[in-house]
Amino acid sequence: MKSVMHEQLMYASYFAPRGRNRMYVLGQQVSERYLSPLDRLIGVVGAAGAGKSSMIKGMFPGLELTNDDDGVNLRPLPLLKNIDKGFFTCHTYHMDTRFELAFTQIHVLAEAVKQALSHGKRVIIEHFDLLYPSLGINADVLLGIGGEVIVVRPNLFGPFPKEIVDVSIKTLQYRKMAHSAEDLTASILLKDYGVSKPFGHRDVHHGFVLEYPMKIDIDLKEVEKKVKQIIDEGVNVCYSDEGHINIGDVSWACTGPRTHVRNTEEIENFRLFHEYKYDPKSETYLIIGLVGPVNENLDGFAGVSYAANL
């Protein structure tokens, strides 16, 4: 039997961190807290660049993804290949529905998943919302990756994949804004003030936190003004490789290069807290930046309140 904790889980929500390593760690934590050995169908939804693959790698170390971020695409799909052979060689299979639809009809994919499940195999499906109408079976555990990582255990009444997708896509835009604003702020601190990259990063609702071991003697109002100037200039931000982005013509090291806006003009309402926040627990000084709505609703107010109390 599944544990009472699993049966009573409505949903859990986490900040979706920026950077692969932090996503791996969160994936491991989610797996330990919310997955049961009896779970067979794991659905993952979210837009491109949200970090779905990184979350899956953290949850299932060693699992070979069929559409890897490094461009290693397994063909034919192992799940379909095993069905053609008449037996299953693996306990756990991965499938990216959006990618596979370029090669295989949706009803074929749905039937393959049903056969695997009937043989007690586990299937992890990215873009589960695309397969669900043909599959007709909701996931045992459904994850939405956007500005937050949402973990739900659906029942007969939902939630359903489309509902989680809608929330994830809406919140992802702010995560991308915050990530790009974070890198712009760090680059200004390095280029104009000689401040080394922060040794720590934290998450805050619709924003970012840079962590330093000592207070930096810099006017944060001035830093904010310089970042806003770059935002207003409309500088392109683009993926370079798995460890870098390009901000205009400048290369910048980044562990989450796919989670950015395409142009700095897309960053809305950037602002810095003009005072450093001291965290007595870690004995560090924090620079806090926010993007998006300003006291527009309870959600935004909650984020500002959280940041103010760090």
Kindly report the pTM of this predicted structure: 0.83
SS3 content of the chain, % helix, strand, coil (to 5): 40, 25, 35
Q: Strand order in 41-45's β-sheet? A: 11-15, 148-152, 141-145, 41-45, 122-126, 92-96
The answer to whether residue 71 scores a pLDDT higher than 90 is no
Vertex 54: Cα angle to 53 and 60 (nearest 5): 85
Query: Is 262 within the bounds of a domain?
Result: yes
- Give the per-residue pLDDT at 70: 54
Q: Are residues 147 and 219 in the same domain?
A: no
pLDDT value of position 1: 42
Where among 125, 159, 193 does a domain terminate?
A: 159
pLDDT digits (tens, 9 = 90+) for 84-123: 777 888 999 999 999 999 999 999 999 999 999 999 999 9
Are 257 and 243 in contact by the 8 Å Cβ rule? The answer is yes
Structural domain that includes position 268: 173-308
CATH code at position 10: 3.40.50
- The answer to whether 285 touches 215, Cβ cutoff 8 Å, is yes
Of 306 and 184, which is predicted with more confidence? Answer: 184
Q: Are 258 and 20 in contact (CB under 8 A)?
A: no
Task: Mark whether 125 and 148 lie in a shared domain.
Answer: yes
Q: Do residue 210 and residue 149 come from a single domain?
A: no
Note whether 12 and 141 are same-domain residues: yes
Q: CA 254, CA 239: separation in Å to the nearest integer?
A: 9
Instruction: Give the angle 284-189-193 at the CA atoms, nearest 5°.
Output: 105
Same domain assignment for residues 115 and 210: no
Average pLDDT over residues 191-206: 86
Residues 179 and 151 in one domain: no
State the Cα angle at 140 between 205 and 18, rounded to 5°: 25
Looking at residue 298, its pLDDT comes to: 36
Q: Are residues 148 and 266 in the same domain?
A: no
Same domain assignment for residues 33 and 117:
yes
Q: What is the DSSP letter of 64?
A: -
Give yes or no: residues 201 and 107 share one domain.
Answer: no
**Statement to judge: residues 243 and 280 lie in one domain:** yes
Q: How many domains does the chain have?
A: 2
Is 166 a domain residue?
Answer: no
CATH number at residue 204: 3.30.980.10
* CA neighbor of 26 nearest in space, from 16, 34, 36, 35: 16
Report the pLDDT value the prediction gives residue 160, as an integer from 0 to 100: 95
Q: What percent of the chain has pLDDT over 90?
A: 68
Is 168 within a domain? no
Per-residue confidence band for 74, with pLDDT thresholds at 50, 70 and 90:
low
pLDDT computed for residue 17 by the predictor: 86
Q: Which two tokens stand for residue 272?
A: 């810095």
Q: What CA–CA distance (Å, rounded) separates 310 from 306? A: 7
How does the average pLDDT of the chain come out, rounded?
88
pLDDT given for residue 307 in this prediction: 41
